[in-house]
């Protein structure tokens, strides 16, 4: 059903859309009251009719009416809560469906029950229906078509009943129903016209207001240009001021205004407009003065660098208005928790700096940092939402950690950043070693950005052997990084760094592509699967599935020859999202293996629901597979068998370990027993080409048997 406003205003599509949006908004805003009236009216009809008519049809009618009204109320509530852009015409059609459903039920009442009601019951029911029709002419005024349709459903069934009933009084009532419908049609048209004129007037007022705003801006710009001209004129006449003997009152007022403006500018130049605290420039000025006092009086001075945790989530989820409000409330809490001689300022963003002079010892500064952090941890109420924040505080002391403002602020910032990285202490005192570590980490971070284009990464491969057949089942791709100056960098050092910086997405994509490309070069008659380690950051990146499918298509590697290895930690942050991604990959034929099993948070309650194919027993258990670790390894293998998973034992270095694992039921073995170390791509191809058909271990076992 199209909006009547769009029918009456044959202008551009934009104008029709705006009118339809306004009409839809009016319909939904006035719907709650009309639904409530419908509930009362329908209930009252049932109460006056239940002694005069059959109970089952009557209560069935009332139940259907309640169901329709409840659905309409849910629709209205959903409309009020929705924040997505609306299409007015579609919203009117949606609203009209609910109104017409109710109208059909209202029309069904006289058609179904008037014949069994007495004259009083029919009269009361007719009055209720006419009252509902009269109210609808106003409530549904934004859509004349909807209003007339609903009025027809309410008036005509009863009117026709009276017209075709015997008796002069019934025909009079039928004629009055016709007249009443005509009056309602005219009233509906007049109400619709008034409503649409109000909507057009509102739009015209908005346009006029926008025009006035533009004119005001132009006027302000002209005033600004005029002020600049006045300043220029004043500067040109300064050389003549010594000749002026008498100053007029106007000139005195001008001088007074200039002094007031100068004070306001000085205030703005030193104050953060959002929180009212001193800004960075004022902080540096204040800190310089306090350092002079500290040098002269030989007392300890502390700098506390405070950074709000989870503040970005507030901005992303609740919007910048809520973020600004949180910053204002956080500033008030910090100010209320400080001694009188402390100086608080906003450094920028969600960072604050406290200058605390005249301390007896450094522990007092850490204690103050703890107090301030606990104050920020209290829930913050923003409108109707509760925000829970935390903070990390870095502390630097004068003169131990620096003798000028720049050194002290940088030291406090380094301490704060280290506390945030280590996640052990939320209040961190600066240590000179932190600066060196931060410098080294930043150097490594910078080198990591350039490592892929500089072709510093390479892959090596370690075989995964089938315990039952003695064949090479798969080759695990392992990443290596050789930096031109720093040399070999361990994966345990650069992989977590890549995850923090986001470089893991591009790096993981490169590893997957290179591993698949290399797997396509292996001898076809013994071509194993290729196993690639995957980071949780990759899984939740949003593009991982499409990346995998694109790489398989580009390299030509069958999905059945790819296995993805991931650790249990991937299921901690977003179990449902991870499960969905892995299920989609497995449905394409890709295998999934759970790496380092037994070292994380393994539990049967989540293991049974994971979309995986195999478990990889951590190498820490393999060393004692024939001794102390035997019960653990056996339990893991039994768990894998119970859930239908294959079991891979990594870190197998001796024949004794291999024999014990085979006897315990391991499906695949991996380790230095089969190759002295991971193989470069060319060596891996040669090794695969020379593979014997049976594992040496199996031959030895048969010989001993």
> And the tokens for 353?
């700096």
> And the tokens for 549?
């499918």
Which CATH number belongs to the domain containing residue 344 in this structure? 3.30.70.270
Whole-number pLDDT of residue 699:
41
> And the tokens for 91?
């919203």
Residue 437 has pLDDT above 90, yes or no: no
- On whether both 572 and 507 belong to a single domain, the answer is yes
- On whether both 93 and 188 belong to a single domain, the answer is yes
CB-count exposure of residue 68 (10 Å: 0-12, 13-18, 19+): buried
Q: Is residue 443 situated within a structural domain? A: no
- Residues 349-402 pLDDT 10s: 899 999 999 887 778 899 999 999 999 999 988 877 888 889 999 999 998 888
Whole-number pLDDT of residue 624:
62
Most confident of 75-89, 261-275, 520-534, 572-586: 520-534
Give per-residue burial for 518-530: e unless 16+ CB within 10 Å, then b.
bbeebeeeebbbb
Whole-number pLDDT of residue 368:
92
Q: Name the least confident of 198-212, 296-310, 641-655.
A: 198-212
Whole-number pLDDT of residue 266:
62
- Residues 293-349 pLDDT 10s: 988 988 889 999 999 988 877 876 788 888 899 999 999 999 998 998 999 999 988
Residue 662 has pLDDT above 50, yes or no: yes
Which CATH number belongs to the domain containing residue 515 in this structure? 3.20.20.450
Which has the higher per-residue pLDDT, 221 or 298? 298
Nearest alpha-carbon partner for 525 in 600, 471, 588, 458: 471
- How far apart (Å, rounded) are the C-alpha atoms in residues 228 and 231? 5
Average pLDDT over the chain reads 82
- On whether both 34 and 175 belong to a single domain, the answer is yes
- On whether both 426 and 459 belong to a single domain, the answer is no
Distance of CA 452 to the CA centre of its chain: 30
- How far apart (Å, rounded) are the C-alpha atoms in residues 688 and 196? 80
Q: Is residue 81 situated within a structural domain? A: yes
- On whether both 118 and 61 belong to a single domain, the answer is yes
- On whether both 33 and 170 belong to a single domain, the answer is yes
- How far apart (Å, rounded) are the C-alpha atoms in residues 658 and 678? 18
- On whether both 502 and 409 belong to a single domain, the answer is no
Q: Is residue 220 situated within a structural domain? A: no
Alpha-carbon Rg for the chain in angstroms = 39
Q: Is residue 285 situated within a structural domain? A: yes
> And the tokens for 468?
């039952």
Most confident of 273-277, 538-542, 634-638: 273-277
> And the tokens for 452?
């892929």
Residues 149, 9 contacting (CB under 8 angstroms): no
Expressed in percent and rounded to 5, the helix, strand and coil fractions of the chain are 65, 15, 20
pLDDT-based confidence at residue 587 (cuts at 50, 70, 90): very high
Whole-number pLDDT of residue 229:
64
Q: Is residue 34 situated within a structural domain? A: yes
- How far apart (Å, rounded) are the C-alpha atoms in residues 363 and 3? 71
- Residues 604-643 pLDDT 10s: 656 777 888 999 888 888 876 656 678 888 888 888 888 8
Which has the higher per-residue pLDDT, 111 or 18? 111
- On whether both 423 and 477 belong to a single domain, the answer is no
Residue 526 has pLDDT above 80, yes or no: no
Residues 658, 673 contacting (CB under 8 angstroms): yes
Picking from 157, 173, 208, the residue at the C-terminal end of a domain is 208
- On whether both 39 and 92 belong to a single domain, the answer is yes
Whole-number pLDDT of residue 345:
95
- Can you give the pTM of this predicted structure? 0.48
- Residues 160-180 pLDDT 10s: 888 888 778 778 877 887 887
Could you count the other beta carbons within 10 Å of the beta carbon of residue 182? 11
- On whether both 333 and 300 belong to a single domain, the answer is yes
Q: Is residue 467 situated within a structural domain? A: yes
Residue 549 has pLDDT above 50, yes or no: yes
- On whether both 460 and 582 belong to a single domain, the answer is yes
Mean pLDDT score, 500-505: 87
Q: Name the least confident of 2-6, 388-392, 644-648, 687-691.
A: 2-6
Q: Is residue 228 situated within a structural domain? A: no
Whole-number pLDDT of residue 239:
65
Residue 487 has pLDDT above 50, yes or no: yes
- How far apart (Å, rounded) are the C-alpha atoms in residues 333 and 327? 10
The beta strand positions in 534-667, using DSSP E, are 562-567, 591-597, 614-617, 646-650
The answer for 354, left when phi > 0, alpha when psi is -120 to 50, beta otherwise, is beta
Mean pLDDT score, 470-489: 92
Residue in the structure block whose two tokens are 């193989």: 679
Picking from 383, 398, 430, the residue at the C-terminal end of a domain is 430
| Number of structural domains the chain divides into | 3
Which has the higher per-residue pLDDT, 156 or 8? 156
Structural domain boundaries enclosing 687: 452-704
- How far apart (Å, rounded) are the C-alpha atoms in residues 646 and 648? 7
- On whether both 291 and 161 belong to a single domain, the answer is no
Give the CA distances from residue 673 to residues 214, 282, 528, 654, in Å, rounded to whole numbers and listed in that order: 80, 67, 18, 6
Q: What does DSSP say about strands 562-567 and 614-617: parallel, antiparallel, or unpaired?
A: unpaired
- How far apart (Å, rounded) are the C-alpha atoms in residues 470 and 497? 38
> And the tokens for 564?
């993805």
């Amino acid at each position: 059903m199209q909006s009547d406003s769009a029918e009456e205003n044959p202008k551009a599509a934009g104008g029709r859309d705006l009118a339809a949006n306004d009409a839809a908004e009016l319909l939904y805003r006035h719907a709650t009251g009309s639904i409530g009236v419908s509930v009362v009216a329908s209930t009252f009809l049932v109460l006056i009719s239940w002694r005069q008519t059959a109970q089952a049809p009557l209560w069935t009618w009332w139940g259907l009416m309640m169901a329709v009204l409840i659905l309409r109320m849910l629709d209205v509530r959903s409309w009020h809560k929705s924040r997505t852009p609306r299409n007015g015409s579609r919203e009117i059609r949606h609203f009209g469906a609910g109104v017409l459903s109710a109208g059909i039920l209202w029309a069904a009442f006289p058609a179904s029950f008037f014949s069994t009601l007495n004259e009083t019951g029919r009269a009361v029911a007719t009055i209720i229906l006419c009252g509902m029709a009269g109210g609808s002419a106003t409530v549904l005024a934004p859509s004349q078509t909807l209003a007339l349709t609903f009025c027809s459903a309410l008036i005509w069934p009863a009117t026709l009943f009276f017209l075709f009933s015997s008796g002069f009084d019934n025909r009079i009532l039928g004629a009055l129903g016709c007249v009443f419908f005509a009056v309602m049609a005219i009233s509906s048209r007049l109400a619709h016209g008034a409503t649409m004129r109000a909507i057009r007037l509102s739009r015209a007022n908005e346009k006029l207001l926008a025009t006035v705003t533009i004119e005001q801006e132009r006027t302000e710009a002209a005033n600004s240009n005029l002020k600049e001209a006045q300043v220029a004129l004043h500067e040109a006449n300064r050389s003549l001021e010594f000749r002026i003997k008498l100053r007029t009152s106007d000139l005195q007022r001008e001088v007074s205004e200039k002094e007031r403006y100068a004070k306001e500018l000085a205030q703005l130049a030193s104050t953060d407009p959002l929180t009212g605290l001193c800004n960075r420039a004022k902080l540096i000025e204040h800190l310089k003065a306090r350092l002079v006092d500290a040098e002269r009086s030989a007392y300890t001075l502390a700098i506390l660098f405070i950074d709000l945790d989870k503040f970005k989530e507030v901005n992303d989820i609740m919007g910048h208005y809520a973020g600004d409000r949180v910053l204002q409330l956080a500033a008030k809490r910090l100010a209320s928790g400080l001694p009188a001689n402390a100086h608080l300022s906003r450094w920028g963003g969600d960072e604050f700096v406290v200058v605390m002079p005249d301390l007896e010892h450094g522990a007092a500064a850490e204690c103050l940092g703890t107090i301030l952090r606990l104050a920020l941890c209290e829930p913050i109420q923003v409108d109707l939402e509760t925000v829970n924040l935390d903070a990390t505080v870095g502390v630097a002391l004068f003169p131990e950690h620096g003798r000028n403002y720049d050194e002290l602020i940088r030291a406090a910032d380094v301490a704060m950043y280290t506390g945030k990285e280590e996640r052990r202490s939320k209040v961190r005192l600066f240590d000179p070693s932190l600066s060196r570590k931060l410098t080294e980490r930043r150097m490594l971070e910078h080198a990591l950005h350039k490592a892929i284009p500089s072709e510093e990464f390479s892959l090596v491969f370690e075989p995964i052997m089938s315990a039952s057949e003695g064949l090479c089942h798969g080759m695990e791709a392992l990443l290596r990084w050789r930096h031109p100056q720093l040399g070999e960098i361990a994966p345990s050092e650069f992989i977590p760094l890549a995850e923090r910086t986001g470089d893991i997405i591009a790096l993981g994509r490169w590893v997957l592509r290179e591993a698949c490309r290399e797997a396509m070069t292996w001898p076809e008659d013994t071509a194993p699967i290729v196993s690639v380690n995957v980071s949780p950051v990759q899984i939740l990146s949003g593009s991982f599935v499409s990346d995998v499918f694109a790489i398989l298509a580009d390299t030509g590697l069958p999905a059945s020859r790819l296995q993805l290895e991931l650790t249990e930690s991937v299921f901690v942050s977003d179990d449902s999202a991870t499960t969905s991604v892995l299920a989609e990959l497995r449905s394409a034929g890709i295998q999934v293996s759970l790496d380092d099993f037994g070292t994380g948070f393994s539990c049967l309650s989540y293991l049974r629901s994971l979309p995986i194919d195999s478990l990889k027993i951590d190498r820490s258990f393999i060393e004692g597979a024939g001794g102390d670790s035997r019960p653990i390894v056996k339990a893991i293998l039994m768990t894998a068998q119970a859930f239908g998973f294959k079991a891979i034992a990594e870190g197998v270095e001796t024949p004794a370990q291999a024999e014990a694992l085979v006897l315990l039921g391991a499906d695949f073995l991996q380790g230095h027993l089969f190759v002295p170390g991971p193989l470069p791509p060319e060596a891996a191809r040669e090794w695969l080409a020379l593979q014997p058909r049976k594992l040496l271990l199996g031959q030895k076992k048969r010989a001993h048997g």
